[in-house]
C-alpha cells in the first residue's frame, strides 16, 4: 500500500516564521491511493537543528510512538522554545493495514520575539510637513555592515501605519502589512527570512511608510483614528557563520526623506510623482547626505504580537475585455469583473505629464462612470511621468473596488495592454470548488467567491469601494460558514476574533464593527445617527458564532478555550439586558436590507439571543464544562419559552410574519414540533404569496434555504435559488452582476440605481447562500462530534432542475468530493471521495439504492434514504428518485 505523509503544517501554515505561541500546533495529511486508510499511531520529533533531525534525534521533543489517529492540532509538548530561533520537525505515521512507518519530509518553523524585553528597536517616523494638506509617504534607509558571512538573518518588522520593506533594493514584505488591528491595543509583527539577501560588507535596508488604517482615512471619511502619522519599528537579527550575532534596529541613526508618493490613502487614492523618484535609495552606497534624521516616538503601550492574519498579496491579474473612447477624449475600460485592487499602467510620454486612473463599479446610463455610490471616497490614482521611455506604475498604499477604469490624460492611443488589473486580498488559499449543470448557479458561486476575495482584506470588510470598508461583525457571521467552504480562513478568522475581543466593551457587549474604531460610534453615531449601543442583534453574536464555526470546520479547540471567558461575558451581558428573557427592540439594525418585510426587532433580537446561548451550550460541552453547559442549555430553554410565549400565536404565526421570523425560529430551534410544522407552512405560504420570491435581509437570508430544506420544502429552496425575477440572486446575474450586491434592489429595471448613499455592488452578505450550496445541495457537512471533517456527513439534496453538482472541499485532512447527477428518468448517481484518516456517513436519497462496493446500508425516512458508513477512498452509489409534478414543474427528488 502506498501511503505518503504530506502538507505538514505548523499553526496551520507551511514553515511559518516568527511565531509567538509557546506551544505551536502541528498538522499533517496522509495521502494514499487505497481505501480505508487511517492512522493508527504517530511519532513526532522536534529538533533545534536540521542535522540532528536527519539523525532522528528530537532533542526538543520526541513524542514517542503514540497510538492515536490524531493528525491535526497536535500541541507541541517539548522543552520550552526560545526567542528568535529555528526549529525543525518531522512526523512518522503508522497506518492501520501496514505496520511499516512512513516519515514526512523535515519541516521548519521559527519563533519570534517572545518577551517585551526582547524588543530593542525604536519607533521612527518623519515629521509632517505643515505646508501640505496631504502628506507624502516617507522613505527610511539605513546602511548596515555585515561583519562576516551570514548564516541566518531574520527581520522582525511592523508599523503604526503600513510599511513596505526592502533589503538591498528588493521588496521583502507583503502588501499593507502589518494589517489592521486596534493599534491602541495591539499591532502585528511580521518576520521575514532575509539570509539570502544579505552579504558580507555593506547592505541597505529601506522602508516606505503609508498611513493605512493608523493615520489614513478609515470608515466614513475620518482620518487619524489611531495616530497622527505613521511610525516604523524593525529589528534585524543576524547570525554569522563564525557563530557571532549582531542586532540592527530602527533608531535615531536612520535617515528619512520624502519620496515620489505624494500621498497615498485607502479611501482617497494616490498621487505618484515619478519626477521625484530617488534612484537606488534602497541600495548600499547611495548618498543620503541631504536626508534628515528621523523623529523618535517615545514608546508604544500596546502589544507587539506575531502576525496571525494571512499576508495580503496580489493573487491574480485581469486583462481588460474592452476599451472605448469617450466624447471628452478619455478612455473607459471594462475589466469584465468587479474586482478589488488596482490597475497597473504602462505609459510613455513627456516628463511631467499627468495620467489619472479613475475606478468605478458601474456605468451610468450615458456610459460615464457611476461614482455616486463611492460617497466621499476618491478611487483615483494619479501618475506624473518621469519621461524618457516606457514607464510602469501601480499604486502602493491604496486599493479600489471597481469593474470600470477611466484613463484620463493618457499621452497617445491606449489599447488593451495599457492597463492590467491586480487583484489584491488576504491570501487565503482556495479551499472549495462547486460546479453544477446550471450556468447561472455557477455564476452565482463565482460571484460569491469574488465577493469574498474582494472583501477579505485584513478584516472581513463590508465593501471595498465607498468610504466605509469596515469589519462589520454581522456581515462576517452570516457569511462565515460559506467563507470556510470557499477558502482557508482558519487564521483569518482567528485574527478577526482577536479584533472582536479587543473591541469587546467592559459590559461584555461585542461591537458591530471590529477592529473598533470607537470614534465612529461615539463621536458620530451617537450624535448623528443615534445608534448608540454596541451590541446589535446578529452583529455582536458574531463573537460566539464565528469561533464555533472555526471549531466545526477546523476542529480548533484552542479558539474556544482562548476566548471562552469573553464569550461567557457576552451571554451574561445579554441576560442582563433582557426582560424576562426577551431582548427588547433597542440598538438593532433588524434584518438589514430585507425587501418589503420588516422583521420586528425584539423578535429578531430574542431569536439571536437564544442562538448565542445555544451555541454557548455546545461550546461549554465541547470544553467539558458541564456546569456551564447545564446553565446555557437552561438559558436557551428559557429564552425559547419566552420567545414562544411573547411572539407565537396558536396557529404558529410568529409576530411580524416575515420570512425571517419563521426562518430564524426554525433554524435556531425555538419552536415546539407542532409549531415547527405550522411555521414551515407559513413560511412556504409567504414565499408563494409573493410569487415564489424571497424577502429576507442579511440575517434571514443565510438560513432561508436551509430552513426550507430541513422542513420539507426542498422544492421551494430550489425555486428561490433559481428565481430570476426581482428580488433574487439570479436577477442581479441576469443584469450583469459579477459579484454579490449589497441590496436586492441595488439596480432594478424600474428604478435604476438605488440611493447612492448606500449602494455597494460588492458586499458578500447575501452570498451566504453559498453555505446551503455546499452543505445541502452538494451535501458536504461537518460533523460536530468529530469536527474539522474528521468525520463528514454527506447528504446530497437533489432536485431535477439542477441535474448535476460537483463540489470539493479541502479540509485539514485532504480533499472531500461529492459528485451527483440526476438522469431524465430520475436515476441518481452519486460519487463521494473521502480523504485518508477520515470517515463519512453517506446518506443516499431515493429507492433501490445500490452501492458499487456492496456496502450494507441502514435506512431512515421510511426507506427513502439509505445510509452508509465509509472509510477513505472513492465510493459510488445509485438510486431511483421520485418524479413529481408540482406547480407545473416536474420535480425529481
As a whole number of angstroms, the distance between CA 575 and CA 562 comes to 22
DSSP H or E segment with residue 646:
helix 626-647
Minimum CB distance to ligand BGC, residue 468 (Å): 6
Q: Which of residues 845-884 bind ligand BGC (CB under 6 A)?
A: none
Residue 29 corresponds to which cell in the numbers above?
Answer: 495529511
Minimum CB distance to ligand BGC, residue 521 (Å): 12
* Angle, in degrees to the nearest 10, between helices 490-503 and 542-554: 160
Residue closer to ligand BGC by CB (options 382, 466) is: 466
Half-sphere exposure of 254 (CA within 13 A, CB side): 32
Q: Contact letters (x/-) for ligand BGC, 587-616, by CB under 6 A?
A: --x--x------------------------
Q: Contact letters (x/-) for ligand BGC, 415-454, by CB under 6 A?
A: ----------------------------------------
DSSP string, 555-610: --HHHHHHHHHHHHHHHHHHHHHSBTTBPPS-S---STT-SS----HHHHHHHHHH
Residue closer to ligand BGC by CB (options 25, 375) is: 375
Q: Which of residues 747-766 bind ligand BGC (CB under 6 A)?
A: 758, 763
Active site residue 372: no
DSSP string, 779-848: -EEEBTTBTTTTEEEE----BTTB-EEEEEEEETTEEEEEEEEE-TT-EEEEEEEE-TT-EEEEEEESEE
The residues pairing with 847 across neighbouring beta strands, listed in sequence order, are 880
Query: Do 542 and 477 meet the contact criterion of CB atoms below 8 Å apart?
Result: yes
Query: Do 823 and 829 meet the contact criterion of CB atoms below 8 Å apart?
Result: yes
Residue closer to ligand BGC by CB (options 254, 472) is: 472
Residue whose CB is nearest to ligand BGC in the complex, by number:
462
Q: Does 628 bind ligand BGC (CB under 6 A)?
A: no
Residue closer to ligand BGC by CB (options 281, 744) is: 744
Residue closer to ligand BGC by CB (options 468, 541) is: 468
Minimum CB distance to ligand BGC, residue 529 (Å): 10
Residue closer to ligand BGC by CB (options 226, 472) is: 472
Query: Do 249 and 122 meet the contact criterion of CB atoms below 8 Å apart?
Result: yes
Q: Contact letters (x/-) for ligand BGC, 459-478, by CB under 6 A?
A: ---xx----x---x-xx---
Which one is catalytic: 406, 494, 742, 781? 742
Minimum CB distance to ligand BGC, residue 475 (Å): 5
Residue closer to ligand BGC by CB (options 31, 758) is: 758
CA distances from 636 to 405, 626, 632 (A): 51, 15, 6
Residue closer to ligand BGC by CB (options 136, 538) is: 538
Minimum CB distance to ligand BGC, residue 213 (Å): 17
Q: Which of 606, 567, 614 has the alpha carbon at shortest distance from 590?
A: 606
Residue closer to ligand BGC by CB (options 677, 758) is: 758
Q: How many residues line the site for ligand BGC (CB under 6 A)?
A: 10
Query: Do 111 and 81 meet the contact criterion of CB atoms below 8 Å apart?
Result: yes
Which one is catalytic: 211, 361, 468, 817? 468
Residue 94 corresponds to which cell in the numbers above?
Answer: 503508522
Minimum CB distance to ligand BGC, residue 537 (Å): 11
Cell numbers 491574480 correspond to 316
Q: Contact letters (x/-) for ligand BGC, 531-570, by CB under 6 A?
A: ----------------------------------------
Minimum CB distance to ligand BGC, residue 547 (Å): 20
| Polymer length of the chain | 893
Half-sphere exposure of 207 (CA within 13 A, CB side): 33
Minimum CB distance to ligand BGC, residue 476 (Å): 9
Query: Do 559 and 499 meet the contact criterion of CB atoms below 8 Å apart?
Result: no
Q: Give φ, ψ of 107 to 5 degrees.
A: -125, 160
Minimum CB distance to ligand BGC, residue 592 (Å): 5
Q: Label residue 778 left, alpha or beta by phi (over 0 means left) and psi (-120 to 50 means alpha).
A: alpha
Minimum CB distance to ligand BGC, residue 89 (Å): 42
Residue closer to ligand BGC by CB (options 26, 463) is: 463
Residue closer to ligand BGC by CB (options 233, 592) is: 592
Q: Contact letters (x/-) for ligand BGC, 57-96, by CB under 6 A?
A: ----------------------------------------
Minimum CB distance to ligand BGC, residue 454 (Å): 13
Residue closer to ligand BGC by CB (options 597, 812) is: 597
Residue closer to ligand BGC by CB (options 30, 463) is: 463
Secondary structure class of 724 (helix, strand, coil): coil
Q: What angle do CA 576, 597, 219 make, to 5 degrees?
A: 65
CA distances from 293 to 205, 284, 511, 652 (A): 15, 18, 41, 73
DSSP string, 239-265: EETTS-EEEEE-STT-EEEE-SEEEEE
The residues pairing with 402 across neighbouring beta strands, listed in sequence order, are 339
As a whole number of angstroms, the distance between CA 504 and CA 527 comes to 22
Q: What angle do CA 724, 729, 731 make, to 5 degrees?
A: 40
Q: Label residue 538 left, alpha or beta by phi (over 0 means left) and psi (-120 to 50 means alpha).
A: left
Cell numbers 502506498 correspond to 2
Minimum CB distance to ligand BGC, residue 433 (Å): 27
As a whole number of angstroms, the distance between CA 854 and CA 525 comes to 64
Minimum CB distance to ligand BGC, residue 536 (Å): 7
Active site residue 742: yes
DSSP string, 128-153: --TT-SSPPPEEEEEEEEE-S-EEEE
Q: Give φ, ψ of 543 to 5 degrees.
A: -65, -20
As a whole number of angstroms, the distance between CA 175 and CA 188 comes to 14
Active-site positions read: 468, 742
Chain residues binding ligand BGC by CB under 6 A are: 462-463, 468, 472, 474-475, 589, 592, 758, 763
Amino acid at each position: 500500500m502506498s501511503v505518503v505523509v504530506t502538507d505538514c503544517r505548523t499553526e496551520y501554515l507551511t514553515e511559518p516564521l516568527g511565531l509567538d505561541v509557546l506551544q505551536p500546533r502541528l498538522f499533517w495529511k496522509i495521502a494514499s491511493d487505497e481505501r480505508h486508510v487511517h492512522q493508527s499511531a504517530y511519532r513526532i520529533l522536534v529538533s533545534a537543528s536540521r542535522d540532528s533531525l536527519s539523525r532522528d534525534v528530537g532533542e526538543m521533543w520526541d513524542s514517542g510512538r503514540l497510538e492515536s489517529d490524531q493528525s491535526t492540532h497536535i500541541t507541541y509538548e517539548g522543552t520550552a522554545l526560545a526567542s528568535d530561533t529555528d526549529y525543525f520537525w518531522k512526523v512518522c505515521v503508522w497506518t492501520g493495514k501496514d505496520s511499516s512507518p512512513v516519515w514526512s519530509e523535515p519541516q521548519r518553523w521559527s519563533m519570534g520575539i517572545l518577551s517585551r524585553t526582547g524588543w530593542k528597536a525604536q519607533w521612527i517616523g518623519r515629521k509632517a510637513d505643515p505646508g501640505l494638506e496631504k502628506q507624502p509617504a516617507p522613505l527610511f534607509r539605513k546602511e548596515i555592515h555585515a561583519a562576516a558571512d551570514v548564516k541566518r538573518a531574520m527581520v522582525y518588522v511592523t508599523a503604526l501605519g503600513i510599511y513596505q520593506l526592502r533589503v538591498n533594493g528588493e521588496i521583502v514584505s507583503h502588501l499593507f502589512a502589518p494589517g489592521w488591528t486596534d493599534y491602541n491595543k495591539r499591532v502585528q509583527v511580521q518576520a521575514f527570512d532575509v539570509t539570502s539577501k544579505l552579504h558580507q560588507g555593506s547592505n541597505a535596508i529601506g522602508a516606505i511608510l503609508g498611513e493605512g488604517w493608523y493615520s489614513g482615512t478609515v470608515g466614513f471619511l475620518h482620518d487619524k483614528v489611531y495616530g497622527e502619522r505613521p511610525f516604523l519599528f524593525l529589528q534585524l537579527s543576524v547570525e554569522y557563520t563564525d557563530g557571532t550575532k549582531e542586532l540592527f534596529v530602527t533608531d535615531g541613526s536612520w535617515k528619512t526623506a520624502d519620496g515620489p508618493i505624494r500621498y497615498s490613502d485607502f479611501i482617497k487614492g494616490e498621487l505618484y510623482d515619478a519626477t521625484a523618484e530617488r534612484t537606488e535609495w534602497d541600495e548600499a552606497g547611495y548618498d543620503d547626505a541631504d536626508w534628515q534624521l528621523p523623529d523618535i516616538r517615545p514608546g508604544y503601550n500596546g502589544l507587539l504580537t506575531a502576525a496571525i492574519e494571512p499576508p495580503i498579496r496580489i493573487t491574480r491579474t485581469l486583462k481588460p475585455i474592452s476599451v472605448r473612447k469617450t466624447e471628452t477624449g478619455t478612455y473607459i475600460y471594462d475589466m469584465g469583473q468587479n474586482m478589488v485592487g488596482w490597475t497597473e499602467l504602462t505609459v510613455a510620454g513627456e516628463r511631467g505629464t499627468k495620467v489619472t486612473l479613475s475606478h468605478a463599479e458601474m456605468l451610468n446610463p450615458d456610459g460615464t462612470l457611476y461614482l455616486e455610490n463611492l460617497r466621499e471616497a476618491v478611487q483615483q490614482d494619479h501618475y506624473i511621468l518621469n519621461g524618457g521611455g516606457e514607464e510602469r506604475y501601480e499604486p502602493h498604499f491604496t486599493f479600489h473596488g471597481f469593474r470600470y477604469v477611466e484613463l484620463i490624460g493618457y499621452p497617445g492611443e491606449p489599447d488593451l495592454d495599457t492597463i492590467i488589473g491586480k487583484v489584491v486580498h488576504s491570501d487565503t488559499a482556495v479551499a472549495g470548488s462547486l460546479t453544477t449543470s446550471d450556468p447561472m448557479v455557477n455564476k452565482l458561486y463565482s460571484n460569491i467567491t469574488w465577493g469574498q476575495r474582494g472583501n477579505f482584506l485584513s478584516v472581513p470588510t463590508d465593501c471595498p469601494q465607498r468610504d466605509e470598508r469596515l469589519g462589520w461583525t454581522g456581515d462576517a457571521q452570516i457569511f462565515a460558514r460559506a467563507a470556510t467552504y470557499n477558502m482557508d480562513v482558519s487564521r483569518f478568522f482567528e485574527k478577526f476574533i482577536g479584533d472582536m475581543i479587543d473591541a469587546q466593551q467592559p459590559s461584555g457587549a461585542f461591537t458591530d464593527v471590529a477592529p473598533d474604531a470607537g470614534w465612529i460610534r461615539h463621536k458620530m453615531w451617537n450624535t448623528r445617527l443615534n445608534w448608540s449601543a454596541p451590541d446589535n442583534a446578529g452583529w455582536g453574536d458574531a463573537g460566539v458564532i464565528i469561533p464555533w464555526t472555526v471549531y466545526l470546520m477546523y476542529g480548533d479547540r484552542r479558539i474556544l478555550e482562548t476566548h471562552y471567558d469573553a464569550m461567557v461575558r457576552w451571554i451574561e451581558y445579554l441576560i442582563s439586558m433582557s426582560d424576562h428573557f426577551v431582548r427588547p427592540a433597542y440598538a438593532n439594525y433588524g434584518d438589514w436590507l430585507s425587501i418589503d418585510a420588516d422583521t420586528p426587532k425584539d423578535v429578531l433580537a430574542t431569536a439571536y439571543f437564544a442562538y448565542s446561548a445555544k451555541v454557548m451550550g455546545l461550546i461549554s460541552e465541547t470544553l467539558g464544562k458541564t456546569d456551564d453547559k447545564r446553565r446555557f442549555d437552561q438559558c436557551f430553554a428559557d429564552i425559547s419559552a419566552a420567545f414562544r410565549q411573547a411572539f407565537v400565536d396558536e396557529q404558529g404565526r410568529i409576530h411580524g410574519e416575515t420570512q425571517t421570523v419563521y426562518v430564524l425560529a426554525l433554524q435556531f430551534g425555538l419552536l415546539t414540533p407542532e409549531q415547527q410544522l405550522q411555521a414551515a407552512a407559513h413560511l412556504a405560504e409567504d414565499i408563494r404569496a409573493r410569487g415564489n420570491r424571497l424577502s429576507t435581509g442579511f440575517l434571514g437570508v443565510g438560513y432561508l434555504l436551509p430552513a426550507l430544506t430541513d422542513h420539507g420544502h426542498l422544492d421551494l429552496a430550489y425555486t428561490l435559488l433559481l428565481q430570476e425575477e426581482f428580488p433574487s440572486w439570479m436577477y442581479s446575474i441576469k443584469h450583469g452582476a459579477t459579484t454579490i450586491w449589497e441590496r436586492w434592489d441595488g439596480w432594478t429595471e424600474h428604478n435604476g440605481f438605488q440611493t447612492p448613499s448606500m449602494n455597494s455592488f460588492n458586499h458578500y452578505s447575501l452570498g451566504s447562500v453559498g453555505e446551503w450550496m455546499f452543505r445541502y445541495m452538494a451535501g458536504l457537512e461537518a460533523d460536530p462530534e468529530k469536527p474539522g471533517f474528521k468525520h463528514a456527513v454527506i447528504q446530497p439534496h437533489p432536485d431535477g432542475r439542477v441535474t448535476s453538482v460537483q463540489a470539493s472541499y479541502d479540509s485539514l485532512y485532504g480533499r472531500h468530493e461529492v459528485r451527483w447527477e440526476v438522469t431524465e428518468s430520475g436515476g441518481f448517481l452519486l460519487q463521494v471521495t473521502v480523504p485518508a484518516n477520515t470517515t463519512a456517513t453517506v446518506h443516499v436519497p431515493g429507492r433501490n439504492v445500490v452501492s458499487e462496493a456492496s456496502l450494507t446500508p441502514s435506512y431512515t425516512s421510511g426507506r427513502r434514504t439509505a445510509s452508509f458508513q465509509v472509510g477513505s477512498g472513492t465510493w459510488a452509489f445509485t438510486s431511483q428518485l421520485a418524479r413529481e409534478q408540482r406547480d407545473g414543474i416536474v420535480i425529481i427528488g
